[in-house]
Chain A
Amino acid sequence: MANFILRKAESKDVSDILRLIKELAKYEEMEEQVVLTEKDLLEDGFGDHPFYHCFVAEVPKDQQSSEGYTVVGFAMYYFTYDPWIGKLLYLEDFYVMEEFRGFGIGSQILKVLSETAVKTRCSSMHFIVAENNTQSIDFYKRRGASDLSLEEGWRLFAIQKEELLKITAK
């Protein structure tokens, strides 16, 4: 196998995007946390103000997955802002279906993301990885990524909706 293309996601891709989001969540053992719907993805990604952008990897029909899918990988990203250095590209989700790994699809996706970051004058690309995901950590470190949680002690915090509502009611 070797034939694949990378392209910008279109509105028709939301069902594949959701499927791959769920597969990645399952890989991270958090599948039950995915509450997003295709409708949300459509409005939020392909409306007047997109909140995210996606690249998808597609194979020809004759190389489709065992379940008949031709969209076999994706990367979801958006732009953030670091008050020390400015615009950043934030890689939110990045996944290639298991049966299509080892063919350079992931590397190619990362290359296109890097080109995008450079073209759009981003100073850096940031992303979050689970500490037990050693395969992904190696993949990124081989390409020059550094672990800022380790080097600079940053931790990710969240205030969920129920708690936000409590704060607004005070």
Chain B
Amino acid sequence: MEYKLRKAEPKDVSDILRLVKELAKYEAMEHQVALTEKELLEDGFGDTPLYHCILAEVQGEQSGEDPKVIGFAMYYFTYDPWSGKQLHLEDFFVMEEYRGHGIGSEILKQLSDLAMKTRCHGMQFIVAEDNEPSISFYKRRGAEDLSTAEGWRLFRFTENSLYKMAASTEE
């Protein structure tokens, strides 16, 4: 199957949001997507991008048709106080009908290339424990489950808790 990978541009925010929602649906959490195209535009293509995207595109089925965005990876750089810069892979998704053609592998290869070029010490990402196809995909390529190996758990303070703490005047 012919496809190409490219950096996302401002015109792609509508496709990015569509794929973010498809991935959330795959994780059975579609209702949690509150982000808008406007926010994606400001946050990804302003002076200080908060995220970056690689897109996978195929040719339109009929001649004259626009190319179609059928996969994406959203990433940003984080910092590990033990080893330094890391690439954090936030979202990674290929539409179902386009899987099995090596697109996911190629995206991961590009991300690995980028991580090496930007002097990152590793790539980190979060996977749902019941997402066996993805866990296998990553483990086949050398990923380790640090939650199992080292006992790390992800915690969150939501906006409400943040407001309460910011406003507090005592312990």
Contacts and interface: CB of A to CB of B under 8 A. Distances in A.
Interface in B114-138: 115-116, 120-130, 135, 138
Contacts of B35: 83-86
Interface stretch (B1-9, B61-69, B72-80): B72-80
Given A34-B82, A83-B90, A87-B43, A168 B109 contact: yes
In this complex, the interface size class of chain A, counting residues with CB under 8 Å from chain B, is: 35 or more
Interface string B143-157: 111111011111111
Contact of B153 (A30, A128, A168): A128
Given A118-B166, A154-B128, A157-B124, A163 B85 contact: no
B109 A110 contact: no
Q: How large is the interface on B (under 10, 10 to 19, 20 to 34, 35 or more residues)?
A: 35 or more
Contact of A144 (B23, B43, B154, B160): B160
Interface string B89-104: 0110000000000000
A84 B33 contact: yes
B90 A157 contact: no
Most buried by B among A104, A130, A159: A159
B43 A51 contact: no
A40 interface: yes
A129 B82 contact: no
A94 B112 CA distance: 29
Contacts of B125: 156-158
Given A128-B153, A148-B155, A168-B116, A161 B39 contact: no
A5 interface: no
Interface string A131-170: 1100001001001111111101111111111111111101
A158 B161 contact: no
Contacts of A129: 152-153, 155
A36 B138 contact: no
Given A36-B83, A160-B144, A149 B153 contact: yes
B128 A152 contact: yes
Given A81-B50, A158-B146, A161-B122, 19 more contacts: A21-B82, A25-B81, A44-B79, A83-B20, A83-B90, A86-B39, A104-B171, A118-B162, A124-B159, A131-B152, A144-B161, A148-B154, A148-B156, A155-B148, A156-B125, A157-B126, A160-B121, A160-B122, A163-B141
12 contacts: A81-B43, A81-B90, A83-B23, A83-B51, A83-B74, A93-B81, A111-B168, A145-B156, A149-B153, A154-B128, A156-B147, A157-B146
